Structures are given as C-alpha cells and as structure tokens.
C-alpha cells in the first residue's frame, strides 16, 4: 500500500486540527506539528514510516526546531516531521517507543543542544564528557563560555 504524502497530511490535519502545518519544501513532504501532539502523531506515522533515518535539532533565533527524517521501507517514501520548541523550555516527548533509533539520536540532541526528551529511558550525555558545562551547538554557547577561555582551556 503506497503512502500518499498529500493524503497523509490531509488526514493528520483532519484528525489533529489546523495546527498541523505542511511546510513548503520542493524535495520532501515536511509537516510541522505542535509538541503536545507529537506522541500521538508519531505513533500513527510509525505504522507507515517504519524507519527513523535521522533526528537533528536546529537553534533558530526565536526557537529550537527538532527535525525527524522518516522513511517507509516498503514504499520508499520519505517524510520530514518538525517540532518547534520555546527557547526557555526546550522539551518534547521521546519518540523512542515508536522508533528505537531515537534512543541514540535524542541523546545527541540533548547533549549538543540541551533538548530534553521526556520519557527517554536513558537521557544523558553521549558525546561530551559528563562534567562538561553547557551545550556546544547552541548559538549562545561561545559567548557564554568566552570568559572561561581567558584562563586557558580546562585541564584534562
């Protein structure tokens, strides 16, 4: 059964309301969903899109954006799912129950950008040392750490 992205997005909009937005992208269907709707939408999408290819996050000036790259193996269809989070509380539910690949990918977004994935079974640093302070891919990280480097880098 072929996944039709237009029909899928229309079904999601009908079921979850107008807050589901289709973003303009000429290469792949991209859907923006509110964070509170992510668990239900992810569970529904996991039925058709059985592989989480990647998960990343972007630090925009006004918000953080978590991007999920989904793939339907049987149908060779791609879907991009986006969730925007406020700067003062970047939290969203984990999708690791739907796609086990999220276990590592969510830890990476947590470590590098400070995105908290509620319900993740083992949310801790994966790339930076445990005692590392801050999140190095945040736009404000270099400014926040500048005074530390005047004395030289920390001893290892």
- Return mean pLDDT, the chain: 90
Query: Do the beta carbons of residue 42 and residue 95 sit within 8 Å?
Result: yes
For the chain, which residues make up each domain, given as ranges? 5-144
Residue 110 tokens, joined: 């947590």
Distance CA 34, CA 37 (A): 5
Q: What is the DSSP letter of 155?
A: P
Question: Concatenated DSSP letters for 68-102?
Answer: EEEEETTTTEEEEEEEEEETT--EEE--TTT-TTH
> What dotted CATH number matches 5-144?
3.30.460.80
Q: What is the mean pLDDT of residues 11-31?
A: 90
* pLDDT score at 6: 75
Output the furthest CA–CA distance in the chain (Å, rounded). 62
pTM for the whole thing?
A: 0.88
pLDDT tens figures, 58-104 = 999 999 999 999 999 998 999 999 999 999 999 999 999 999 999 99
Reported residue count of the chain is: 156
Q: What is the pLDDT of residue 145?
A: 57
81: its two tokens? 């799912």
* H/E element, 39: helix 38-45
Q: What is the mean pLDDT of residues 133-143?
A: 85
Confidence (pLDDT) at 140: 87
The DSSP letter of residue 15 is H
* Residue closest to 139 by CA, chosen among 65, 35, 34, 30: 65
Provide the pLDDT for residue 7: 82
Percent of the chain with pLDDT over 90: 70
Residue 46 pLDDT grade (very low, low, confident, very high; cuts 50, 70, 90):
very high
What is the structure's pLDDT at 4?
A: 73
């Amino acid at each position: 059964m072929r996944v039709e992205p237009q029909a899928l997005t229309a079904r999601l909009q009908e079921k979850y309301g107008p807050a589901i937005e289709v973003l303009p992208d000429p290469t792949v269907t991209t859907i923006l969903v509110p964070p509170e709707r992510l668990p239900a939408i992810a569970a529904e999408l996991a039925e058709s899109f059985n592989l989480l290819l990647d998960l990343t996050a972007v630090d925009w000036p006004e918000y953080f954006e978590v991007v999920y790259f989904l793939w339907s193996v049987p149908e060779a269809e791609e879907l991009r799912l986006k969730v925007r989070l406020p700067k003062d509380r970047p939290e969203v539910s984990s999708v690791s129950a739907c796609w086990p690949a999220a276990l590592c990918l969510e830890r990476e977004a947590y470590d590098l950008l400070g995105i908290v994935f509620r319900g993740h079974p083992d949310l801790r640093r994966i790339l930076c040392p445990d005692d590392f302070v801050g999140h190095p891919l945040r736009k404000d990280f270099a400014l926040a750490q500048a005074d530390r480097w005047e004395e030289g880098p920390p001893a290892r």
